[in-house]
C-alpha cells in the first residue's frame, strides 16, 4: 500500500536528487516515510535519500518496494507546475504506479526489484567536517570545468580549498571565518572526478546548507536537507588515487 499527495515540486525534487546518479531505482516505502539508496553503474557515486511523511500533504503506506524508471516518472512530473497538486498511488491489482497531476493520469509499469539489491552505506570515519552554502561549492565546480577533469578538495584547521587544472589552474579557498563550520584533524586531501562531482552538483540548489565530510584519499560525503527540512540527502563519491 502506498499513497502520497502534495505539491508537484515535492515529487520533482525527489527525482532531481536521485536522477543525477541513476535512472532506475528502488523506492523503499514504509510507514515512517520514503527511503532510497542507490549506486551508479560504475560504483563510483552513491545516494541516500530519506523523506518524512511530513513532506507531503497526505501520506499513507505499509512496507512496500517499488522499482521506478525515473525517466518515465520525470516525463509526467515535469508537466506540472510547482504548486500544482500531484498524487502517487500504487495500484496493487494491476501492479502499476498511478501518477495524477490535475486531469492527467499516467499508469506506469514497475521494474523488478529483485534485480535491485539492498545497499549498505559504508560507515566511514572522516577527519574533516566542513559546513558551507551550496553556492560556494557550485561556484567552484563550475569554475573547475574550464580547466581540467579532476578536482582536489583540501581542508586543514584554517581553510577549505577546491583546486583543479595543471597547465591552467583554478583555485577557490575559503577561510574558517567564511565557513559555517570547519573541524579538521591535521590535513585532509582527496582527488575526485570532475564529471561525477558536476553531476552531483546538479542535485543541489542555491542557498542550501551543505556538510562535507572529507579525508585523505578518501570518499567525500555531501549532506544536505531538502523539502523544508522534511527530507535528507547524502551523496558519497569515491576518490581517484591518481590522474590517468
Interval 206-225: pLDDT, tens: 999 999 999 999 999 999 99
Mean pLDDT confidence for 12-39: 96
Residue pair 51/13 in contact by the 8 Å Cβ criterion: no
Bridge-based pairing of strands 209-214 and 220-226 is antiparallel
pTM of the complete model: 0.95
Percentage of the chain surpassing pLDDT 90?
A: 89
pLDDT digit string (tens) for 58-102? Answer: 999 999 999 999 999 999 999 998 689 999 999 999 999 999 998
Contacts of 182 (CB under 8 A, 6+ apart): 129, 130, 131, 155, 157, 158, 159, 160, 176
Mean pLDDT of 18-27: 96
What are 119-158's pLDDT values in tens digits?
888 889 999 999 999 999 999 999 999 898 999 999 999 9
Domains of the chain, each with CATH number or no CATH: 2-115 (3.10.150.10), 128-237 (3.70.10.10)
The number of beta carbons lying within 10 Å of the beta carbon of residue 111 is 16
Which pLDDT band, with edges at 50, 70 and 90, does 115 fall under? confident
Measured distance CA(7)–CA(213) in Å, rounded? 32
Considering the chain, what percentage of its residues have pLDDT values greater than 70?
98
β-bridge pairing 170-175 and 85-91: unpaired
So what's the pLDDT on residue 242? 59
**Secondary structure (3-state) at 238:** coil
- β-pairing verdict for 2-7 and 85-91: antiparallel
Please name the residue that has the C-alpha cell 552554502. Answer: 133
Amino acid at each position: 500500500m502506498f499513497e502520497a499527495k502534495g505539491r508537484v515540486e515535492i515529487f520533482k525534487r525527489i527525482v532531481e536528487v536521485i536522477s543525477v546518479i541513476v535512472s532506475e531505482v528502488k523506492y523503499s516505502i514504509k510507514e515512517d516515510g520514503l527511503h532510497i539508496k542507490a549506486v551508479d553503474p560504475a560504483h563510483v557515486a552513491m545516494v541516500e535519500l530519506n523523506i518524512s511523511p511530513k513532506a507531503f500533504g497526505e501520506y499513507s503506506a505499509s512496507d512496500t518496494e517499488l522499482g521506478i524508471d525515473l525517466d518515465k516518472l520525470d516525463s509526467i512530473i515535469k508537466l506540472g507546475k510547482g504548486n500544482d497538486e500531484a498524487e502517487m498511488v500504487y495500484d496493487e491489482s494491476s501492479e502499476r504506479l498511478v501518477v495524477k497531476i490535475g486531469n492527467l493520469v499516467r499508469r506506469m509499469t514497475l521494474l523488478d526489484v529483485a534485480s535491485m539489491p539492498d545497499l549498505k552505506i559504508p560507515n566511514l570515519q572522516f577527519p574533516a567536517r566542513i559546513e558551507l552554502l551550496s553556492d560556494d561549492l557550485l561556484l567552484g565546480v563550475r569554475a573547475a570545468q574550464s580547466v581540467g577533469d579532476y578536482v582536489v578538495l583540501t581542508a586543514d584547521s584554517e581553510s577549505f580549498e577546491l583546486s583543479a587544472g595543471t597547465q591552467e589552474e583554478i583555485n577557490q579557498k575559503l577561510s574558517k571565518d567564511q565557513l559555517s563550520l570547519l573541524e579538521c584533524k591535521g590535513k585532509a586531501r582527496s582527488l575526485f572526478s570532475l564529471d561525477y562531482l558536476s553531476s552531483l552538483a546538479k542535485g543541489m540548489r542555491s542557498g542550501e546548507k551543505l556538510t562535507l565530510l572529507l579525508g585523505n584519499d578518501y570518499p567525500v560525503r555531501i549532506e544536505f536537507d531538502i523539502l523544508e527540512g522534511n527530507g535528507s540527502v547524502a551523496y558519497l563519491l569515491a576518490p581517484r588515487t591518481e590522474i590517468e
